[in-house]
Structure 1
Amino acid sequence: MNRFLNLAIGLAILFTSCKNEKETTIATKEQQPMNILFIAVDDLRPELNFYGANHMQSPNLDKLADESLVFDRAYCNIPVCGASRASLLTGLRPTRHRFINYSTRADKDAPQAVSLPNFFKQNGYTTISNGKIYHKRNDDSLAWDNIWFPKGNIRDYQLEKNRIENGDANLAVAGAAAFEMAEVDDTAYFDGEIAQKGIADLKMLANKKQPFFLALGFMKPHLPFNAPKKYWDLYDRAKIELPESYVQPKSTPKQAFHNFGELRNYGNVPKKGNLTEDLSKELIHGYYACVSYVDAQIGLVLDELKRLELEDDTIVVLWGDHGWNLGDHKLWSKHSTFETALKTPLIIKVPGKTKGQKTNAITEYVDIYPSLVELAGFDAPKNLEGQSFMPILNGEIPEKDWAVSKFKDAVTLIKGDLFYTEWTKDDGIAFARMLFDHKTDPLELDNLAEKPEYQETVNQLAKELRAKWGKDFFKIES
């Protein structure tokens, strides 16, 4: 009797063991790598409700932020679109001779780099680029299974007057306006088309077993500030004010300012001098309208992600390629090393991990590549110059507490509350300097760099800047 009882118990244990092993095997097979929805927004300032502002309407971005980790101190590595995107997507810093301007190509400036999308493609992901991801549409073309961009003139005017005056020019020309308010549907402009293409791709990808890296590059609020009239109607221009920092102090080096040529090219903008208050407020109004327009398009994509039951399996990361001056320091556009040009919106939603947390940890855009790779469960390539922000996602204090950004001859070290900028040539010797303490001067109006009592601080920051701007800073690519 005992022998039969022992045999029965043994068979039961064996059955249970086999059952558990089978269940474990099935769970492992069903566990897929996380998808990545990679959303880029051109010229988006971190001037949104979830950053403490209350004058722009962006309900969909606000909702995404409530489900994400919000980076309160994220900085681009160079404030110009082509170079910023190439740097972010390769995980490499700009140097004096690499990633310079808007026309930068990653595949020419860093031909040996395995880009972020190419890394995921090599690891079994379907990779799709829609809209403006790289500045040049065919840059890094081998990284993508598919590249799509809306057909038509890049200025994307809908009003006949602007279309005629712009002609076939893809760059701004003398006649066409810097903004337009048109009675059209959302899909009339490129961003509406990009959203619809993203939605169609999500439907297609939902039926595939492969994980995906789906990149959507929205065009607004880049100039010209063109948006359907209903988004202009969200705002009362009489309530729009010029920024508090609408001043250029004499203590600030002249090299810090520019003539904002990107805006001057448009027909209704004077070629020199300060803009009138009325024109300034009209431009700000147009910028706000474009932010609300692109917010609505992103909302459609995120709604589809949820409808397809993909959101629990998809990391969503949203970023702007750099800041943008809206009259700050009497400047417009980017192309400077003031915080208004360097500080960027960055939010990341990780299913089961994020729920509206915020971090003040200093993060720079070269950190995005290694972070996404680690989140997906892979080892990052060895040559990346950023550091993963996974410790921040895990609620830890990161080791790195600094960022470095540059534009032309200016290089900025951001450390704690201090913003230190040097203008140098290839000899590395500073010919102008700028230091702001954001604890006492968040608007960057009091340059401390030449004050005697700050010379020890300046000397220390100068050493740190050189140690942190990257080992290849002066290298000329062969």
Structure 2
Amino acid sequence: MMRKSKRPGKAMTWGHFLLIGWVAFAGSVQAATSERPNVLFISMDDFGPYLKGYGKEQVIAPNLDRLMERSMTFDRAYCQMAICSPSRSSLMTGLRPDSTGVFNLATHFREKVPDVVTLPEHFKQQGYHTQAVGKNFHPAFSFHADVDGQPNLDDPQSWSAPLWLPSPPRYYHTEAGIADAKKVFARTRMRADETPDDWENYVIRGFATEAPDVSEDVLYDGQVTNRALQVMREVAALEEPFFLGVGFLKPHYPFIAPKKYWDLYDRNEIKIAENNFPPRDAPPISLQVHWPEARAQSDVPDSGAILPEQSREMIHGYYACISYVDALVGRLLDELDRLGLRENTIIVLWGDHGFSLGENSMWAKLTNLEMSTRSPLMIALPDGRGAGRHTDALVEFVDIYPSLAELAGLSLPEHLEGTSFVPLLTDPQRPWKSAAFSQYLRRAIPNYRVNPLAIDTPLGYRDYPKTATMGYSMRTDRYRFTLWQEDGNPDVIRGIELYDHQLDPAENVNIAGHPEQAELVAQLTQKLRAGWEAAQPRS
């Protein structure tokens, strides 16, 4: 008896099973991917905690204020090193500076840890589209083209698409303005044995402040914003979730913002720092009293104090820059809402380190003091966890990597040297780290020469040590404690700092040398040298 042949197309072959399995698998992957939250990763350069929510009532930043209302705000968040590239390299790798080997603006972290998986790279490997606009790592900007051999410190393998930077410089000057700046620079910077050809080789940065009457789109950060909005619209149409880094340059020197943001403030009402003097009894090596970044601006005096009138002008400019970026952040938030992405996007905003506006007699960062190491950090979640709340738990920028990975449902790489702060989002007052750690390297100056652009070199120390000095700093709930020791030789101590934040929150008096503090200094020395692992929260 002949078997009846089956109609074509009805047989269930292994190919069909494989196809059905693949469709089911692909569907489950797509569903899992689409359920993962997007990440909008916003950074501001040289941005200290200057917002109303941090107690700075004079600063006008309504959009950052409303983001803070939607966010958990970390009132005591600390960078690992108060200078751009080391701080950003640490945050983006989840490694501390001693592990990245980055202590300056010229070293790429991949020179020491070539195979490390960065924060955006980890998201990329887990199915995210990662893209960056503006300064996220520390790239070589087009306006630095006249600095010989400045390396590009971006990390292309972290991103799904090439980094985008505007082509115009971040400085806004007319030709006449540049000429005036060069005249001032020549008059104040030339030594007796120099000629104009010598100072022409410097980068002429122009004036410390400027208020051009231009559209916000003309300046660098406005162009970053326009590109970020375009990218946001593009990535919103993708099937995979996105990690979008938007890096603003302001309020970094020089303090230049469109005039309308200057007009928000009455300069006569600008308050200058009350503690415009170095901490008493602080070791000289701990201070950055010559503020090379500030003095690189042509109209800042080459030595001596900045007088109150110019202090108000510079603070006015810094605040105007914050207000300018605030408006740009507002455009990002509005577009996120317009695209319907708010319900599935984590928003993180951070400053790469703090900044002093005359406090402790400084106009910079580059120290281990509170004003340099403390910076804003806020995170807004789609489910509203932590919204409008603050925590004074000690957190570190190396904690951002594991926290975002956990919030996105990603595994945690083994190399991380931070701790996820996710538990704080539901319980901001829970016991947490007993200390946060920062460090700063004072490099050796074997051949002293005044260079206003050597921003990690304290100017004026002609008797500076001929070997590098590393300052290791620890912020506990009550104290800031710092040991300055010969780099690589912890037995050679060149300075000790101890500030009691319960009695002296402005860090005006170093009490490390007071005899009655000897036992406390010994205890804190032991705790500092036990390191970050010993300070982790107990489960």
TM-score relative to the length of structure 2: 0.79
Provide the rounded CA distance (Å) in 2 between the counterparts of 1:277 and 1:29: 58
Amino acid at match of 2:207: A
Q: Percent identity?
A: 41
Residue 253 to residue 114, structure 1, CA distance change in 2 (3 Å): same
Provide the rounded CA distance (Å) in 1 between the counterparts of 2:371 and 2:344: 34
Provide the rounded CA distance (Å) in 2 between the counterparts of 1:305 and 1:172: 42
| Distance apart, 1:31 and its partner CA | 5.2
Which residue of 114, 134, 148 maps to 2:164? 148
Which residue of 263, 266, 286 maps to 1:233? 263
Provide the rounded CA distance (Å) in 2 between the counterparts of 1:76 and 1:190: 25
Query: Is the CA contact (8 Å cut-off) linking 2:368 and 2:482 kept in structure 1?
Result: yes
Greater shift after overlay, 316-325 or 399-408? 399-408
TM-score relative to the length of structure 1: 0.89
Provide the rounded CA distance (Å) in 1 between the counterparts of 2:516 and 2:120: 48
Query: Is the CA contact (8 Å cut-off) linking 1:402 and 1:413 kept in structure 2?
Result: yes
Which residue of 454, 463, 467 maps to 2:530? 467
Task: Spell out, residue by residue over 1:220-239, the C-alpha distance to the aligned partner (whole angstroms, 9 max, x if none).
Answer: 00011111000011111111
Residue 213 to residue 402, structure 1, CA distance change in 2 (3 Å): same
**2:497 partner SS:** strand
Residue 435 of structure 1 pairs with residue 498 of structure 2: yes
Which residue of 149, 159, 164 maps to 2:174? 159
Which residue of 411, 421, 438 maps to 2:472? 411
Residue 450 of structure 1 pairs with residue 513 of structure 2: yes
Residue 75 of structure 1 pairs with residue 78 of structure 2: yes
Give matches, 1:122-133, under 5 Å. 122-133=125-136
| Distance apart, 1:103 and its partner CA | 3.0
Query: Is the CA contact (8 Å cut-off) linking 1:253 and 1:432 kept in structure 2?
Result: yes
| Distance apart, 1:158 and its partner CA | 3.9
| Distance apart, 1:373 and its partner CA | 0.3
Provide the rounded CA distance (Å) in 1 between the counterparts of 2:481 and 2:259: 42
Provide the rounded CA distance (Å) in 2 between the counterparts of 1:171 and 1:178: 19
Query: Is the CA contact (8 Å cut-off) linking 2:34 and 2:240 kept in structure 1?
Result: no
Residue 384 to residue 274, structure 1, CA distance change in 2 (3 Å): same
Query: Is the CA contact (8 Å cut-off) linking 2:251 and 2:321 kept in structure 1?
Result: yes
**2:223 corresponding residue in structure 1:** 193
| Distance apart, 1:354 and its partner CA | 3.1
In structure 1, the gaps of 5 or more residues are: 1-23, 472-478
**1:290 partner SS:** helix
Which residue of 406, 421, 424 maps to 1:374? 406
| Distance apart, 1:170 and its partner CA | 13
Residue 221 of structure 1 pairs with residue 251 of structure 2: yes
Provide the rounded CA distance (Å) in 2 between the counterparts of 1:356 and 1:136: 34
Residue 282 of structure 1 pairs with residue 313 of structure 2: yes
Amino acid at match of 2:45: D
Task: Spell out, residue by residue over 1:391-448, the C-alpha distance to the aligned partner (whole angstroms, 9 max, x if none).
Answer: 1012162542311001112110111111001100121132210100101100101211
In structure 2, the gaps of 5 or more residues are: 1-26, 141-151, 183-198, 442-469, 535-539
Provide the rounded CA distance (Å) in 1 between the counterparts of 2:266 and 2:315: 11
Task: Spell out, residue by residue over 1:316-351, the C-alpha distance to the aligned partner (whole angstroms, 9 max, x if none).
Answer: 000000000100111011101110011100000011
Residue 255 of structure 1 pairs with residue 275 of structure 2: no
**2:115 corresponding residue in structure 1:** 112
Task: Spell out, residue by residue over 1:80-125, the C-alpha distance to the aligned partner (whole angstroms, 9 max, x if none).
Answer: 0011000000000012981202333222242121000100110111
Residue 25 to residue 99, structure 1, CA distance change in 2 (3 Å): closer
**2:397 corresponding residue in structure 1:** 365
| Distance apart, 1:375 and its partner CA | 0.4
**1:19 corresponding residue in structure 2:** none
**1:307 corresponding residue in structure 2:** 338
**1:280 partner SS:** helix
**1:56 corresponding residue in structure 2:** 59
Task: Spell out, residue by residue over 1:355-407, the C-alpha distance to the aligned partner (whole angstroms, 9 max, x if none).
Answer: 21110000010000000000000111011000000110121625423110011
Which residue of 64, 69, 84 maps to 1:66? 69
Residue 279 to residue 57, structure 1, CA distance change in 2 (3 Å): same
**1:185 partner SS:** coil
Aligned residues: 446
**2:35 partner SS:** coil
**2:467 corresponding residue in structure 1:** none
